[in-house]
Structure 1
Amino acid sequence: MREANILFDYKGHLPECPSWDVQTQSLFWTDILEKEIHGYQPSTNKHQIFKFSEEVGCFALRENGGFIAAMRSGIYLTDTDGTVTKKVCDNPNNPVLARFNDGGTDPQGRFYAGTYWSPRDYNGALLCRVDADLKTTVLQCDILGANGLAFSADGRLMFTSDTPNHVIYRTPLDENGNPAERRVWKSFPRGNGRPDGAAMDEEGCYWSALFDGYRIARFSPQGELLEEHRLPVRCPTMLCFGGPEMKTLFITTTRENMSDEEVRERPLSGAIFTLEASVAGLIKPKFKES
């Protein structure tokens, strides 16, 4: 079991959606509740903060520069300094009850964004996709908290998790990205961690941040547990691969809804950790616009 280290002197509120930029060798992530996107370049220790008027649930870097960002009211394009330049679509959920949560791009550079149904009275969240022409399509419903988005290298399998429901799904996709029937790939018992954000490695294995579980885990393409790595905090939220060889895991964690006592006991909650993996991860493409 390898040891996780702190990336740099930073602790956020609800860091999520870590994304590695190969071109600049920089890590980007959102702090949802602080309404920010952050960028950090390890080689120079440069830390940027882009502030927004709404929670940014997830985002992706754009090939044209800037971000595509899923905020509470809708999905937007921004320029390189974070200034909003275009609204892509409204939030297809009720934005009062459901903010955007997990998301990212597939191997073809299409952007996916899922929502979180805050009332938690039924599975009212959804997953949508933005294509290169900025057309937005709702792909899946019957979700409580959309998470765990990752794709096989050929883009023909999509993995998602529903964190509050303790389940990971696998969905076949056709050559145009249209989904077939979603099926349960792995279920988790209550009380030992819930599958949150995820990433895929080059061997087709799925890495999951186990919220409330103090650890991250690697699963084979068949769902077999291959590795677990403990963290000194209770709630990892997501991970991504990066670094010069794409073998560094960057792991976001949170201190949301933690008491002052727990924060004192686990002062690294909200920090970003790094862990060296034995296998490289898949590069996360930038959003491609036509």
Structure 2
Amino acid sequence: MTHREPSTASECILDARAQLGECPRWDERAGVLYWVDILGQALHRFDPSSGVDTVFGLPEAIGCFSLGEDGGFIAGLRSGIWRLDDHARLVEMLAANPEDTRTSRFNDGRCDPHGRFLVGTVDEPKVVGHAHLYQLAGRELLTLSGGLLTSNGLAFSPDGRWLYHSDTPNFTIYRYPYDPTTGAWGARAVWVTVTPTAVDRGRPDGAAVDAEGYYWSAFYEGGRVVRFTPDGQIDAVHPLPVRCPTMCAFGGSDLRTLYITTARAGRPDYELAREPLAGGLFALRTDVPGCIEPRWRG
């Protein structure tokens, strides 16, 4: 397959038909993109230079992961936080899921600038709000926040001084002061509230922050990626040809390709007929680069 850079408009670069694509992560050392299909229970390795997508199956749902500084991965699965080898085989559980795994699994997560792993859960019935956001400290999970339906959108400002995350079903993005040196955090505050309408249920899902400190949020059921200024104002809107983007990440040799995962699980037949590329991996070129993703330091 001949390599071609994606255009400034979004385009599908891999017709993956993922059930619930999530957690794109650019590996700047290997020049490849890792991503997951949560419901497909798989970690993918996509090589944009060849178009080859390699699939590593897992025994349970994988919500998120980070690359390890010395190889392998740290990952949030349904049962807990696991260390994986280079082929995504389970090596060791570092911390069990403290919630009821019949209705809870780990969802969105990433490492802070010093390599600490932060991860949230999803309350699958989405009724009470039993989900949390955690920080892994050794083999202990410290609670940053609770009362959530779906912890999502975890990202850090370029200097590591602000921690962002969203509660997708509540249409809200939060922000916390954060000390990247110690890992200490401050009080949670509402940063952005999205108002749904009868025809637009777009809500903030997974996210990334660029080198200028702008927050890019994939709007699930909104068919777009929204770029927010550091003070929470909408700067730009990038439409997609599918309704359910799930997360975005910067990659490419210059970190100016925005990769976007999408979903097709649970979507009505008429929507999938209209949007056959749902579940695909999309990309668009950006004027501003992203930041190199921190790796887990164990």
Alignment TM-score, normalising by the size of structure 2:
0.94
- 1:24 equivalent among 10, 16, 30: 30
- Cα deviation 1:144-188 (Å, max 9, x = unaligned): 100000001221210000000000000011341121110000000
Aligned to 2:168: 163
Output the CA distance in 2 between the equivalents of 1:41 and 1:188: 35
Residues 68 and 287 of structure 1 are in contact (CA less than 8 Å); yes or no, is this contact kept in structure 2? yes
Partner SS state of residue 65, structure 1? coil
Can you list the C-alpha shifts for 1:19-64, whole angstroms capped at 9, x where unaligned? Answer: 0000001000110001000001111323211111110011111112
Q: Which residue of 2 aligns with 1:248?
A: 257
Deviation string 1:220-265 (CA, Å, 9 cap, x unpaired) is 0001111101101101000000000000000001011112221111
Partner of 2:20: 14
Of 90, 99, 108, the match for 1:102: 108
d(CA) in 1 for partners of 2:150 and 2:63? 12
- Distance of 1:266 and 1:44 partners within structure 2: 25
Mapped to 2, the partners of 1:45 and 1:215 lie a distance apart of 24
1:141 matched to 2:164: no
Query: Which residue identity is paired with 2:295?
Result: K
Name the CA distance, whole Å, in 1 between partners of 2:216 and 2:163: 14
Give 2:248's aligned residue.
Answer: 239
Structure 2 residue matching 1:33: 3-state secondary structure: coil
**Greater shift after overlay, 209-218 or 60-69?**
60-69
How do 1:22-101 and structure 2 match up within 5 A?
22-101=28-107
Secondary structure of the equivalent of 1:34? coil
Q: How does 1:208-247 map to 2 (within 5 A)?
A: 208-247=217-256
Structure 2 Cα separation of the partners of residues 35 and 140 of structure 1: 27
Paired residue for 2:289, among 277, 280, 283?
A: 280
Q: CA RMSD in A?
A: 1.3
Residue 14 of structure 2 aligns to a residue whose secondary structure is coil
Conservation of the 8 A alpha-carbon contact between 1:77 and 1:88: yes
The residue type equivalent to 1:137 in the other structure is: L
Residue matched to 2:184: 178
Shifted more, 235-244 versus 112-121: the winner is 112-121
- Find the aligned partners of 2:77 and 2:96 in 1 and give their Cα distance: 9
Q: Distance in 2 between matches of 1:84 and 1:285?
A: 22
- Unpaired runs of 5+ residues, structure 1, are none
CA distance in 2, matches of 1:262, 1:206: 28
CA distance in 2 between partners of 1:164 and 1:10 (Å): 26
Q: Match for 2:158: what amino acid?
A: A
Query: Matches of 1:164 and 1:229 in 2, distance apart?
Result: 21
- Residue 11 of structure 2 corresponds to which residue in structure 1? 5
Q: TM-score, normalised by structure 1?
A: 0.96
1:105-116 equivalence runs, <5 A: 105-116=111-122
Contact kept? 1:58, 1:69, Cα under 8 Å: yes
Larger mean Cα displacement after TM superposition, 231-240 or 9-18: 9-18
**Identity over aligned pairs, percent:** 43
Deviations 1:168-227 (A, max 9, x none): 000011341121110000000113310000000000100000111110010100011111
In 2, the alpha carbon distance for the partners of 1:92 and 1:207 equals 30
Task: Kindly provide the amino acid, as one letter, of the partner of residue 115 in structure 1.
Answer: T
Q: Distance in 1 between matches of 2:130 and 2:139?
A: 24
